């Protein structure tokens, strides 16, 4: 999967800026750079991992730009190949000209994630660390950034490799027992094997016990805001977002489609879904919106019912209240009496007057406490990736078969151990299929 091509791409976001970075990696990176870069010091004399001022010139010796060039000698580089980084002015025309010049001298356009893919294929990082690179780029909160950094440092891969080694040790023991049965008591070997297997199962369960919080840190807590029309759902979303994201009017049924809003609460990402008001209607478009609301409630990690406490209670509202666990009782400043009281027992209720900013802090505190309900420290979270969780679940299923197996044959256990070993190897990439690897790097940006 490793090729001899020298790849090049712009590693900074497109558009105008003070500085743009063009990166080149491969066996001919230095040869190409030598042809286009001029400085007071000869290119061959430039020190590795140092920065040099100079000029990029085209084939006719015309100056394209004044730049700073970094020469990085393999293998102590990101890709373990020779790397050149050109820091030029961040204009579209300048970067395009330099990149085209590199291509004309033999470089090829880098594919999405190709630099990181080469780092993985060269053994500099494992597959879980490669995924963490993209998580770090996409991180929008301090919590998701820290989780990505911990994974990028290899914490996930290290723990998986330790468990894989334990399984390999057991398989070696089984192999010896099968080949030299005269030296081993089968009954003792089986008992010992099952005991070690139970210990491995505990370790794997420990890795994923905080997964739900981990996935929230990585992707955000999905919260569906629902309720009858004109209860204040869109106002709820706007107040938490701190800006007008959803249209608010006095006309029932204004919101007809799902409006997704991203915000941060206590360093955690929150995905709010403002939904269409739930009511009986003959309007076809509104019916479609209500169907989407029901699906959003089913798919959300948390659903919050918003009720207008100043309105008369109806059978439809009673039905919503009976099914809800979290209720925002809005417009309490306009409410006459507490006609909702008997329907709220045993439920989490937050009383608000959203237009007057009453109850906003309490809502934010509730969302924060919902995420941190078990007092989880981010340093205790190891798995934040759905792919990793699925593979660990598969490994657990294989190892649990060993515990439940009443047959007294070690060679049968070896089949399940090998299955667990195979799926765990896919997390760090030792045995990941090429299509899986391609799928992961396809989601990267070009230049990383």
CATH of the domain at 68: 3.30.1360.120
- Say which CATH number the domain at 322 has: 3.40.50.300
**Structure letter (DSSP) for residue 105:** T
Q: Which residue has better confidence, 97 or 287? A: 97
What average pLDDT score do residues 375-383 get?
A: 78
Amino acid 439: pLDDT: 82
What average pLDDT score do residues 179-207 get?
A: 78
% of the chain at pLDDT higher than 70: 86
- Tell me the pLDDT tens digit for each residue of 128-151: 999 999 888 888 888 888 888 988
Q: Is the pLDDT of residue 359 over 50?
A: yes
CB 317 within 8 A of CB 343: no
pLDDT band at 170 (very low <50, low <70, confident <90, very high): confident
Residue 400 lies in a domain: yes
Picking from 125, 142, 162, the residue at the C-terminal end of a domain is 125
Out of 70-79, 234-243, 252-261, 347-356, give the one with best mean pLDDT: 70-79
Dist. CA 256–CA 277, nearest whole Å? 8
Residue 444 lies in a domain: no
* 337 and 235 in a common domain: yes
**Structure letter (DSSP) for residue 26:** S
Residue 303 lies in a domain: yes
pLDDT band at 46 (very low <50, low <70, confident <90, very high): very high
Backbone angles phi, psi at 185, to 5 degrees: -85, 120
Q: Which residue has better confidence, 125 or 405? A: 125
Strands 63-72 and 83-90: antiparallel
Structure tokens at 188: 């003792």
* 238 and 203 in a common domain: no
Amino acid 120: pLDDT: 92
Amino acid 362: pLDDT: 92
Amino acid 139: pLDDT: 85
Out of 70-79, 214-223, 333-342, give the one with best mean pLDDT: 70-79
Whole-structure pTM value: 0.78
Amino acid 115: pLDDT: 93
CB atoms inside a 10 Å sphere around CB 183: 8
Which residues, in sequence order, are bridge partners of residue 65? 56
Residue from 300, 150, 296, 298 nearest 214 by CA:
150
Dist. CA 251–CA 261, nearest whole Å? 22
Amino acid 279: pLDDT: 54
Q: Which residue has better confidence, 244 or 53? A: 53
Amino acid 249: pLDDT: 44
Residue 377 lies in a domain: no
Q: Which residue shows structure tokens 């998701």?
A: 144
Picking from 84, 99, 125, the residue at the C-terminal end of a domain is 125
Contacts with 334 (C-beta within 8 Å, 6 or more apart), sequence order: 309, 310, 353
* 152 and 121 in a common domain: no
What average pLDDT score do residues 14-18 get?
A: 82
Amino acid 252: pLDDT: 46
Amino acid 425: pLDDT: 94
- CA atoms within 13 Å, Cβ hemisphere of 401: 15
Dist. CA 245–CA 80, nearest whole Å? 46
Residue 376 lies in a domain: no
* 15 and 77 in a common domain: yes
Q: Is the pLDDT of residue 176 over 50?
A: yes
Which residues, in sequence order, are bridge partners of residue 261? 272
Q: Is the pLDDT of residue 104 over 90?
A: yes
**DSSP states of 183-198:** GS-HHHHHHHHHHHHH
* 76 and 189 in a common domain: no
Give the lowest-confidence range in 56-60, 105-109, 176-180, 372-376: 176-180
- Tell me the pLDDT tens digit for each residue of 428-440: 988 877 877 888 8
* 231 and 334 in a common domain: yes
What average pLDDT score do residues 354-382 get?
A: 84
Is 41 buried (19+), middle (13-18) or exposed (0-12) by CB count in 10 A?
A: exposed
What average pLDDT score do residues 358-383 get?
A: 84
* 390 and 334 in a common domain: no
Domain hosting residue 60, numbered range: 7-125
What 3-state DSSP class applies to 382? Answer: coil
* 114 and 86 in a common domain: yes
pLDDT band at 97 (very low <50, low <70, confident <90, very high): very high
Dist. CA 347–CA 225, nearest whole Å? 16
pLDDT band at 256 (very low <50, low <70, confident <90, very high): very low
Contacts with 419 (C-beta within 8 Å, 6 or more apart), sequence order: 394, 395, 398
What average pLDDT score do residues 158-185 get?
A: 79
Number of domains in the chain: 3
* 133 and 52 in a common domain: no
Residue 434 lies in a domain: no
Q: Which residue has better confidence, 240 or 387? A: 387
Amino acid 52: pLDDT: 96
% of the chain at pLDDT higher than 90: 38
Dist. CA 387–CA 128, nearest whole Å? 10
* 206 and 146 in a common domain: yes
Residue 448 lies in a domain: no
Backbone angles phi, psi at 44, to 5 degrees: -65, -20
Amino acid 407: pLDDT: 67
- Say which CATH number the domain at 414 has: 1.20.120.430
Residue 199 lies in a domain: yes
What 3-state DSSP class applies to 201? Answer: helix
* 267 and 171 in a common domain: no
* 187 and 42 in a common domain: no
Q: Which residue has better confidence, 436 or 198? A: 198
| Mean pLDDT score across all residues of the chain | 84
Strands 326-330 and 302-308: parallel
């Amino acid at each position: 999967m490793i090729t001899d091509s020298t790849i090049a791409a712009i590693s900074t976001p497109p558009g105008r800026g003070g500085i743009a970075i063009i990166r080149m990696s491969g066996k001919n990176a230095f040869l190409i750079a030598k042809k286009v870069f001029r400085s007071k010091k000869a290119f061959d004399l430039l020190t590795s991992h140092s920065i040099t001022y100079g000029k990029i010139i085209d084939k006719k010796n015309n100056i394209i730009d004044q730049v700073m060039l970094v020469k990085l000698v393999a293998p102590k580089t990101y890709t373990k190949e020779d790397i050149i980084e050109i820091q030029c002015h961040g204009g579209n025309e300048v970067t395009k000209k330099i990149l085209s010049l590199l291509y004309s001298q033999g470089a090829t356009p880098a594919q999405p994630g190709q630099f990181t893919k080469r780092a993985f294929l060269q053994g500099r990082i494992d597959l879980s660390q490669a995924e963490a690179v993209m998580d770090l780029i996409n991180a929008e909160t301090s919590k998701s950034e820290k989780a990505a950094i911990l994974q990028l440092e290899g914490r996930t891969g290290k723990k998986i490799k330790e468990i894989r080694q334990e399984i390999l040790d057991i398989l070696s023991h089984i192999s010896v027992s099968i080949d030299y049965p005269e030296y081993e008591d089968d009954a003792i070997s089986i008992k010992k094997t099952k005991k070690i297997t139970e210990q491995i199962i505990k370790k794997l369960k420990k890795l994923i016990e905080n997964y739900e919080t981990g996935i929230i840190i990585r992707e955000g807590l999905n919260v569906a805001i629902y309720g009858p029309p004109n209860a204040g759902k869109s106002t709820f979303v706007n107040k938490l977002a701190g800006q007008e994201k959803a249209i608010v009017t006095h006309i029932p049924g204004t919101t007809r489609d799902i409006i997704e809003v991203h915000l941060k609460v206590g360093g955690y990402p929150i995905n709010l879904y403002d939904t269409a008001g739930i009511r009986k209607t003959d309007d076809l478009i509104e019916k479609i919106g209500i169907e989407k609301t029901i699906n959003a409630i089913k798919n959300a990690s948390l659903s919050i019912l918003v009720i207008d406490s100043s309105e008369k209670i109806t059978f439809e509202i009673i039905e919503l209240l009976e099914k809800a666990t979290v209720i925002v009782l809005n417009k309490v400043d306009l409410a006459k009496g507490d006609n909702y009281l008997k329907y709220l027992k045993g439920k989490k209720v937050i009383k608000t007057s959203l237009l007057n900013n009453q109850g906003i802090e309490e809502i934010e505190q509730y969302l924060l406490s919902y995420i941190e309900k078990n007092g989880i420290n981010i340093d205790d979270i190891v798995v934040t990736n759905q792919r990793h969780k699925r593979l660990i679940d598969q490994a657990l299923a294989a190892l649990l078969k060993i515990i439940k197996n009443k047959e007294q044959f070690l060679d049968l256990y070896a089949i399940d151990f090998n299955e667990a070993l195979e799926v765990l190897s896919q997390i760090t990439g030792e045995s990941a299929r090429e299509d899986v690897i391609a799928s992961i790097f396809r989601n990267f940006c070009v230049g990383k």
